[in-house]
Each structure stands twice: as structure tokens, then as C-alpha cells.
Amino acid sequence: MIRVGDDYDVVIGNGVLDQVVQHVPDGAQRILIVHAPVLAEAAGSVAAAASAAGLTPYVEELPDAEAAKTADVAVRLWSVLAQAGFTRTDAVIAIGGGATTDLGGFVAATWLRGVPVVQVPTTVLGMVDAAVGGKTGINIPEGKNLVGSFHPPAAVVCDLDLLRTLPHTDLVAGMAEVIKCGFIADPRILELAADADAATDVAASVLPELISRAVQVKADVVSADLREAGLREILNYGHTFAHAVEQVSGFRWRHGDAVAVGMVYVAELSRRAGLIDEELVAQHRLALQAVGLPTAYPVDGDVDERWTALRAAMGRDKKTRGSTLRFVALTGIAQPTRLTGPDERLLRAAYDAVRE
């Protein structure tokens, strides 16, 4: 169990799904359980446990992946809460990947200005990133996570058994956020992830350690900076370019794949800005390729037009101030810094270095 500041616990283990209802705060009478489409059985188990505990469960299936993170879906769930008479002492439980926990947390944050939420991430990405930290949000056509709220959960329950049904491609994509934690804070992660077969094997002991270490990195950072006033921005390493890639693709790119390419992009940018050497750039590519993540950005069409679209999307990044782009960068492994207002020629050169 990992404690996030004085706020909540992250429970990591096998067979802990039956503990979820125990983390619903006292006083709740009604529970809204939202779940990804493939997790109806898990949602049913939690609903049965809620009923046994004297709670009234309401179960709602969400659209798959990023399709869940829309204003229309949020409105539908608000209507469910209204019609069921949910009060401030009632709660939400979100079971699924990062999109599900983002949406579930956002609905909880905005209903009656905030009701408790218990996050149950079921993907590597959700466990190490989306569900921990209290950041919630939805997407709009102009960008990802532009509408959202900080809303710390009552608890996060990570049942590693649920990873056994995860497609291997999704498991690999989630490793991007794990490796990110290695570069920004915990070099041991990079050493463990070098054994790619073990790192992506749900039955091996390496993956649980990687998840625990990545959660600990995020917990430490979040505890020191709940609302992203400064330090917490380091968790966005690689995300400026990644979010642009996702937006320009219409969110067809997996988040983890985009983050992997985004880390290579900012490494190439940092080298050109004189912050790191070529060896560290190469280490990014090796670490990501070892577990099967992409390190290049394919461009099918006009190269210049694609760059124009990506550059415009980066200008809407949450770290941007006015017209000045701000990147999380490194001066070395576990030595994060900020790169503010890099020259446009360097931005384009880094794009040319990662495109194919």
C-alpha cells in the first residue's frame, strides 16, 4: 500500500477487487459504478459487494477508450445521478483504463461540486498514471484534457489480476508511463525494464515491482504538489508532443505510444538546446524499443502541413504560458528541468529527427 500525502491510499495486489467497497467513505447510500465495456463482470462483482454492504448500486457502461471522455457522456451520467437522487455523501466508483478513471473522476468532481470517487484502474497506464493524482478531465475537439478538475480520490485499488485480460499491445503502451518515471526520478525502473520479456509478463514478478515503483514516483510528486503549481509538471515529460500527436490523429494513437514518441522528441529537442548529449537520446530509444514501444512518428502526407498542425496543437498545451512553449526536459537521468521558449528552428529540427 502506498500513501499519497495525507489524502488517500493506493492498494496494489492480486485479488484486491473485493476490497473496493471497503474504501467507499462512511455515510454513502448510493454508488454509481461506471466501467469500460469489457469490464461488465468486474463491475457486477463490485455491485454485488455494494449491495451486500447495504448500498444501492447503479451500474453504467461507458463507451470504449477516449470515446468515454466527452461532454455528452458526462451529461448522461449527471442525469443518472440526478434521477437517482445522489447527494454529497454518495460516491462514484470508476473501473477501467485511464479514460474511464478520468471521466469517472470528472463526473464525481463536478456533481454537487464534488462527491467521493474510488478509482479502480485496470490497465498499466491507468494504474501508474491516470488514476493516481486526482487529475480528472474530458476532451473537446480542440484538445485533450482541456476541461477538467483536480479531485483526489478516496482510494485507488489496483488489482493486478485484471491485467491478465489486457491485450499485450495495451500493456506495452502502458509501459511508456512507467519508463517515463525511470527517466525523471527512478533509474532502477530503467534497469528492470531492460528485461523486456519479464517487464511485460503479467505472471512475472518484475511487472508488479515496476508498477509499484512508478506509482511511488507519482505519489511522491503529487504529495508535494497537488495542483500542478511546479514540481508536478515533471510528470508531463514527453506529453507536450504526445498530446499534439493524439489530437492531430483524432485520438487514434494510443496514449502510451504517443508518450513514447513524445519522450524521444523532447530528448532530441533537449540535445539541440545543449541540455543532454547524444548518448542519453540514444538511451531513450533503446529503453522504449526494448519493450516494443514506438520511437518514431510516421507522416503520411505533407511533412510541412503535419508540422503546422502539431505546432498549433502544442501551443494549446497546459504548460504553455501566453505564446511561450514550456517543456519538461532533462539534464540527466532523474534530473528534470524546464525548457522554456525554445527556438522555432530547434522545435522543427526535433520533429524532423523523429518523423519517418
In order of 136, 175, 214, 232, 296, the CA distances from 125 in angstroms are 15, 7, 10, 18, 20
What tens digit of pLDDT does each residue of 258-298 get? 999 999 999 999 999 999 999 999 999 999 999 999 999 99
pLDDT of residue 176: 96
Model pLDDT for residues 166-208, shown as the tens digit of each residue = 888 889 999 999 999 999 999 999 999 998 888 888 877 888 8
**CATH tag, 2-165:** 3.40.50.1970
pLDDT band for position 56 (cuts 50, 70, 90): very high
Residues of each domain in the chain carrying CATH 1.20.1090.10: 168-354
Q: What is the mean pLDDT of the chain?
A: 92
C-alpha cell of residue 319 = 504548460
Q: What is the Cα–Cα distance from 265 to 246, expressed in whole angstroms?
A: 14
Per-residue model confidence as pLDDT tens digits over 221-256: 877 755 555 677 899 999 999 999 999 998 899 999
Task: State mean pLDDT over 148-166.
Answer: 91
Q: One of 135, 180, 271, 306 is an active-site residue; which one?
A: 135
Predicted pLDDT of residue 199: 83
Is 35 a known ligand-binding residue? no
Respond yes or no: is residue 135 known to be catalytic.
Answer: yes
d(CA 134, CA 152): 4
Task: Note if 23 is an active site residue.
Answer: no
pTM above 0.75, yes or no: yes
CATH fold of the domain at 168-354: Dehydroquinate synthase-like, alpha domain (1.20.1090)
Instruction: Give me the catalytic one of 30, 35, 151, 255.
Output: 255
Among 30, 151, 232, 285, which one carries the catalytic annotation? 232
